[in-house]
């Protein structure tokens, strides 16, 4: 028996071992602790002016600057599923993987396998990993993938599928530092290669998209670059033209067929003696990667239909869906903080116009969303009520696992359909549409949702 045969048999035996069960309250507590690390607090003072005696009130609101960027790459035989069809799907567990479950991993769909690499395994301290695995839905089996020798372990990386390789760019190490080296993994050869160093300024939270030829990458500082895998080179492009005094705090982005769209949310504080006034806004920018030209398409200040502050942008082939996030914006700007559209919006690039998404069972507080070609599917811990602004948001009671919810949005009717509940509650899962079913991967459980 060769070592390869022995390894294969060991993995076949491991696939038959049932997954372990975790105490829900302990896992929830761990999830909360982890995500507190990603939330930064912005504090500002507001004063009553004119003839009213000056008084200050302290406002605080948190916004994570991390946005998940998982691109389900081009499938050789793309399929679609409507909300009506999805309602007849059912959930089942994935077999145990040869790697420990983790959050914020680099995940892509290759056309026939789900690739999972890196990410963070929870514990007293979240630990980034450098191992990975591939799942084949046809055989319902995992296989380990090669570990890179010159690509540092990390979580929260910008992850893109080129059609041949999984690109892993940026992210955070165990010390919260961005790694200096990036990598590309080819599942056909089970081989990693190291990318050339990123241009200066490409640090911190990165956003980006694959345009069919290059990886377009943007940092919160506005630095913009493109990576060409065929030439293995980076090229610099003009930076995002936001005014320097406007600090960009989040940049949901998407490749929309012919242009790179970025919703840049910014904040700006102005001090006048002991009085600090906060301003905030959101601008929509379009980048033509061929000419390297940025164009401003709109902003929240002048367009009443502009979304309150999207955190996720999904291209459907004809429009961009901006799911509601149900949180408060980072800035304040002349009054109460704007709500980040609890119901979400849909943006039509051909008309540069927005329409609201219909009210549904999930109106925010979840970044778990995927487009199936015929419907938008969202999952989350459970429905969260959104009372009038200024009223605390309803949360599940302490020690009680929240309900399990999955819904599908139909773009034709602008309505939501409740789907069968996932087999287990979870947190921070990543969803991938394979062309036939949805694969849900995360620290709290991994499932498939199909016919």
pLDDT digits (tens, 9 = 90+) for 59-95: 233 333 444 444 444 333 457 999 999 999 999 999 9
Summary mean pLDDT of the chain: 78
- How far is residue 96's CA from residue 141's CA, in Å, rounded to a whole number? 9
Do the domain assignments include residue 120? Answer: yes
pLDDT for residue 297 is more than 80: yes
pTM here? 0.79
User: Are the CB atoms for 94 and 143 separated by under 8 Å?
Assistant: no
Span 282-294, mean pLDDT? 96
Stretch 209-226: mean pLDDT: 96
Average pLDDT (172-200) is 90
Q: b/e for 328-348, b at 16 or more Cβ within 10 A? A: bbbbbbeeebbbbbbbbbbbe
Please report which helix (H) or strand (E) contains residue 35, including its range. Answer: helix 24-36
Determine the pLDDT at residue 394.
Answer: 44
> Do residues 364 and 386 make contact, with C-beta atoms less than 8 angstroms apart?
yes
Pick from 135-144, 243-252, 420-429, 436-445: least confident? 420-429
Any domain includes 219: yes
Which of 240, 235, 215, 120 has the alpha carbon at shortest distance from 176? 120
pLDDT above 90 as % of the chain: 51
Residue range 340-368: mean pLDDT, rounded: 81
In angstroms, rounded to a whole number, what is the distance separating the alpha carbons of residues 220 and 16?
45
Residue 330 has pLDDT above 60, yes or no: no
Rounded distance, CA 251 to CA 428, Å? 19
Check pLDDT > 50 for residue 24.
no
Host domain of residue 81 = 65-367
Check residue 88 and give its pLDDT.
Answer: 96
Which pLDDT band holds residue 18 (cuts at 50, 70, 90)? very low
- The C-alpha atoms of residue 289 and residue 291 are separated, in whole angstroms, by 6
Radius of gyration of the chain (CA): 22
pLDDT at 240: 97
Question: pLDDT digit string (tens) for 25-53?
Answer: 334 434 433 443 343 333 332 322 232 23
pLDDT given at position 403: 67
Dihedral angle sign, alpha carbons of residues 258, 168, 205, 308: positive
**Residue 361 confidence (pLDDT) above 50:** yes
The tally of domains found in the chain comes to: 1
Q: What percent of the chain has pLDDT over 70?
A: 72
Report the pLDDT averaged over residues 307-312.
82
The residues, ordered by sequence, that sit 6+ positions from 302 with a Cβ below 8 Å of its Cβ are none
Handedness of CA 172, 67, 105, 162 (dihedral sign): negative
Query: What's CA 139's distance to the chain center, in Å?
Result: 28
Look at residue 23 in the predicted model and tell me its pLDDT. Answer: 41
> How buried is residue 9: exposed, middle or buried, by Cβ count under 10 Å (0-12/13-18/19+)?
exposed
Asked whether residue 374 is domain-assigned, the answer is no
Q: Specify the pLDDT at position 313.
A: 94
CB-count burial class (<10 Å; 0-12, 13-18, 19+) for 3: exposed
Distance of CA 300 to the CA centre of its chain: 22
Per DSSP, 155 falls in state B
Q: 9 pLDDT exceeds 70?
A: no
Q: Per the domain annotation, does 383 fall within a domain?
A: no
In-domain check, residue 146: yes
286: domain CATH number is: 2.120.10.80
- What pLDDT, on a 0 to 100 scale, did the predictor assign at position 19? 41
CB-CB contact of 249 with 330 (8 Å): yes
**pLDDT, tens only, 109-130:** 999 999 999 999 887 777 889 9
Residue 89 located in a structural domain:
yes
Examine residue 339 and state whether it is found in any structural domain, yes or no: yes
């Amino acid at each position: 028996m060769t070592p390869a045969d022995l390894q294969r048999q060991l993995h076949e035996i491991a696939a038959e071992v049932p997954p372990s069960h975790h105490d829900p309250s302990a896992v929830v507590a761990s999830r909360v602790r982890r995500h507190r690390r990603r939330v930064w607090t912005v504090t500002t003072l507001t004063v009553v002016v004119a003839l009213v005696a000056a008084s200050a009130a302290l406002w605080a609101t948190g916004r994570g600057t991390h946005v998940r960027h998982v691109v389900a790459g081009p499938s050789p035989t793309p399929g679609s599923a409507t909300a009506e069809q999805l309602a007849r799907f059912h959930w089942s567990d994935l077999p145990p993987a040869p790697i420990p479950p983790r959050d914020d991993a680099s995940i892509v769909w290759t056309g026939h396998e789900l690739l999972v690499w890196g990410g963070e395994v929870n514990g007293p301290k979240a630990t980034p990993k450098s191992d990975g695995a591939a799942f084949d839905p046809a055989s319902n089996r995992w296989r380990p993938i090669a570990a890179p020798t010159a690509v540092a372990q990390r979580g929260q990386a910008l992850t893109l599928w080129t059609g041949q390789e999984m690109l892993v760019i940026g992210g955070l190490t165990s010390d919260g530092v961005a790694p200096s080296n990036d990598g590309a993994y080819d599942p056909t050869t089970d081989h990693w290669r190291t990318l050339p160093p990123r241009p200066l300024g490409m640090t911190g939270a990165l956003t980006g998209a694959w345009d069919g030829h290059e990886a377009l990458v943007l940092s919160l500082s506005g630095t913009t670059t493109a990576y060409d895998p065929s030439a293995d080179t980076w090229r610099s492009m003009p930076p995002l033209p936001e005014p320097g005094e406007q600090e960009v705090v989040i940049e949901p982005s998407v490749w929309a067929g012919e242009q790179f769209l970025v919703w840049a949310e910014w904040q700006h504080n102005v001090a006048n003696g002991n009085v600090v006034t906060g301003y905030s806004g959101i601008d929509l920018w379009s980048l033509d990667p061929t000419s390297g030209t940025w164009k401003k398409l709109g902003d929240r200040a002048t367009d009443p239909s502009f979304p309150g502050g999207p955190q996720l942008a999904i291209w459907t082939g004809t429009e961009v869906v901006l799911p509601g996030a149900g949180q408060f914006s980072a800035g304040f700007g002349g009054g109460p903080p704007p709500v980040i559209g609890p119901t979400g919006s849909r943006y039509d690039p051909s008309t540069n116009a927005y329409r609201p998404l219909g009210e549904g069972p999930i109106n925010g507080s979840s970044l778990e969303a995927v487009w199936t070609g015929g419907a938008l599917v969202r999952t989350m811990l459970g429905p969260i009520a959104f009372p009038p602004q200024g009223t605390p948001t309803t949360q599940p009671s302490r020690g009680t696992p929240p309900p399990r919810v999955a819904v599908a949005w139909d773009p034709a009717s602008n309505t939501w359909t409740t789907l069968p509940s996932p087999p287990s509650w979870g947190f921070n899962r990543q969803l991938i549409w394979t062309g036939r079913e949805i694969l849900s991967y995360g620290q709290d459980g991994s499932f498939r949702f199909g016919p």
